[in-house]
Structure 1
Amino acid sequence: MTGIDRAHITINAGASLGTLTRPWTTFGYDELNWTYTPRGKAALKAFGEFAERPYHVRAHNLLTTGRAFSWPHWGSGNVYHEDAIGNPVYDWTTLDQVFDAYLEAGMRPLVELGFTPAAMVPPDADLPFTRSASQYQPYEAALWSMPPHDYAKWGELIFQVVRHCVERYGQSEVEAWYWELWNEPDIFYWRGTPEQFDALYDVTVAAAVRALPTIKVGGPSVTGGPNAVKFMEGFLAHCAGEGDRGTNAVT
């Protein structure tokens, strides 16, 4: 058949096939810092009022460095910094406001662990692509998508994030959350190799489980198309311990 394909569907309205699974009980967006503004809270409240059960909410840039100010397709949790000799300094101000807003609206976080903080960007990282003039500095334009230069520091960051959430919200609450590494690493959100992502996943899961053994952590989400399928198949092979990508970077 050429042109528009056609399908014929027969519906038996008198038959029962069981409960309809509701995959739409989660949603996400880019602009993390709009979450705790008056309009952001009002939008979350509206969702919370008609939801039959808590929705899981996911936003980008929780670990991205910045001024905690959003504009379209950008935001920053501004959690991780380093002092003059490289010791970690954590700032939970924005993270707490985001998760507080979710819980106040009757939602639960789907915590997207990303992206690379400025202090973890490899010192020699560059932008191997054309960048048009804009308000973005190199870090904001793309360096946040580079693999961290020190996976041990990244692992400690993840451990501290999970531990902080358990201390602030309680173990039973955080056990109901979902946690995910990165966003769509099959495209420009990740400028490392698939193998580097596999290793980052191993480090992330080990750190998260160390902080909360019962945590629900996984990932990643990918886009559609052949490249996404190839990336996900390789990632799942890694998790299953199969083939060239089957070696766990931690164990």
Structure 2
Amino acid sequence: MLKHTGRRQQILVALVAFLVSALATVLASTVTTASPSVQPGSDGKSGSPGATSTKPSAPSSLSDPRKPLPIGLAYGDTLTWKNDQELAVGLGDAVDSGAKWIRVDLSWNDIQPDSPKTYEWQRFDRVLNGARARGLEVLATIGYTPKWARKAGCSTDDACPPADPAKFAAFARDAAKRYASQGVHMWEVWNEPNIPFWAPKPDPAGYTELLTATSKALRQADPQAYVLMGGLAAVGTDPSIAYVSQGDFLTAVCKLGGNKVVDAISYHPYTYPYLPSAKTSFGTAMEDISSAQGNLVSILAGNGTPDLPIWITETGAPTNGPGTATDGKTIPPDTTHVTEAYQAAIATDTVQAAAANPHVGAVFWFSDQDTGQAADKQHRSMFYGLRHFDGTPKPALAALKAAILAYEHSR
């Protein structure tokens, strides 16, 4: 009797184990079928028309911490106009630094300067072909309006917005159709729209209208398109010079739904004369990402997109000019430049600070080469390069390379 009872118990236990295993398998299958992997831009956000679940492979360290932080050089519109030898040297800076990405302008004004019926695609083709030959990924900043498409009364500056955002979006669609097959899927829509790079003054509503139309057009042309809001300049709001702070501008765009039509926002936190990782009594531009009061992450969270990555698509420091800072402690009055040694320290710290912040999706150093000479030292914009105007390297080139290598080895 005891023997038969034990046998029945064994059979019963085996049957229960089988049923539990079968049920677990069915549940797992159901969850997998019902909950596909969610990629940026495919989460059902109301303002993401044309988005699909297929996205490029390097969107963000926040969305997938296993992925390396994209690190690149930002060139603006300089590469387009270089001869073949100069272009090779410029792209060689990215390779020499260890960067895997470049950020370059795909200017509407460059491609269709004279007419809506003619295209000068070969200007960007050269840059893309050179980048691809060197194994570099491309973030294209699409912006700048040809004269024939500008708003009335704003006809002398390619920073003028288009009279018709739909025409800008149509150009973006044409660009995406042309270059998606060549591996370009990353798009930044305009540059620093919170200062007069959107001429004659910033207009959050006008920019959001353009961003919404362009995002839709890019995704219609390329389901893999990854769309970034135009890089916000790190400035304080000052109506006298037509500046709107990055926080005020982002808040206004978010209220209009602009954060729901992009996969990431872009930001330009030039922190000099302080290191990017510095914490000062009045904050640095890098702190405005996630730690300072009213930071960008808190604005995004308050508007329904707490996990939207922040791409640093420009940062750097100009060298050797009036009020030159030698470190982040003793700051000369009216500081406008840093020493070359301190620029190198900033380059090192930039990589480290970006990698340490989980909200940062990528970081790009501006720029590869100075565009001015000694006589022009008062102009900061000319001296952000890793190399001097004559092509000789600054210490920052080696420092950036070492920082990128150290980051890669740390993963």
Give the TM-score, by structure 1 length: 0.65
2: CA distance between counterparts of 1:180 and 1:119? 23
Separation in 1, partners of 2:195, 2:118: 30
2:81 aligned with 1:43: no
1:11-90 alignment, distance < 5 Å: 22=69, 25-30=71-76, 31-34=78-81, 37-49=84-96, 51=98, 55-60=100-105, 62-65=106-109, 77-79=110-112, 81-82=114-115, 88-90=117-119
The whole-number CA distance in structure 1 between the counterparts of 2:118 and 2:191 is 25
* Equivalent pair of 1:186/1:222 in contact (CA under 8 Å): yes
Return the alpha-carbon distance in structure 2 between the equivalents of residues 81 and 189 of structure 1: 21
Equivalence for 1:216: 226
Runs (4 or more) in structure 1 with deviation over 6 Å come to 18-21
Conservation of the 8 A alpha-carbon contact between 2:79 and 2:87: no
Q: State the superposition RMSD in angstroms.
A: 2.7
Return the letter of the residue paired with 1:214: Q
Q: 2:159, 2:198 within 8 Å by CA — same for their partners in 1? A: yes
How far the C-alpha of 1:161 sits from its partner, in A, is 0.6
Contact persistence 2:80–2:124 (CA under 8 A): no
Q: Give the SS at the match of 1:221.
A: strand
Structure possessing the higher radius of gyration over alpha carbons = 2
Identity of aligned residues (%): 21
Deviation string 1:10-45 (CA, Å, 9 cap, x unpaired) is: xxxxxxxx989646x122123132455312312323
**Letter matched to residue 182 of structure 1:** W
- The correspondence of residues 154-169 of structure 1 with structure 2, limited to 5 A, is 154-167=168-181, 169=182
Unaligned runs of 5+ in 2: 1-64, 237-244, 261-302, 304-411
Structure 2 CA distance for partners of 1:105 and 1:210, relative to 1, 3 Å: same
The one-letter code of the counterpart of 2:216 is A
SS at match of 1:122: coil
Report deviation, 1:195. 0.5
Q: Secondary structure at the match of 1:39?
A: helix
Cα distance change, pair 19–164 in 1 and its aligned pair in 2 (3 A): closer
Give SS of 1:90's match: coil
The residue matched to 1:145 in structure 2 has which SS?
coil
Are residues 1:123 and 2:152 paired?
yes
Q: Tell me what 1:68 maps to.
A: none
| Structure 2 residue identity aligned to 1:37 | D
Q: For structure 1, which segment, 90-99 or 196-205, has the greater mean C-alpha deviation from structure 2 after superposition?
A: 90-99
- CA gap of 1:21–1:214, structure 2 versus 1, over 3 A, is closer
Query: 1:160 Cα deviation (Å)?
Result: 0.4
Change beyond 3 A, Cα 1:39–1:218: same
Structure 1 unaligned blocks of 5 or more: 1-17, 66-76, 127-138, 247-251
Deviations 1:65-116 (A, max 9, x none): 3xxxxxxxxxxx334542xxxx532221101111111111221111000111
Structure-2 residue corresponding to 1:73: none
What CA distance in whole angstroms lies between the structure 2 residues aligned with 1:153 and 1:222? Answer: 23
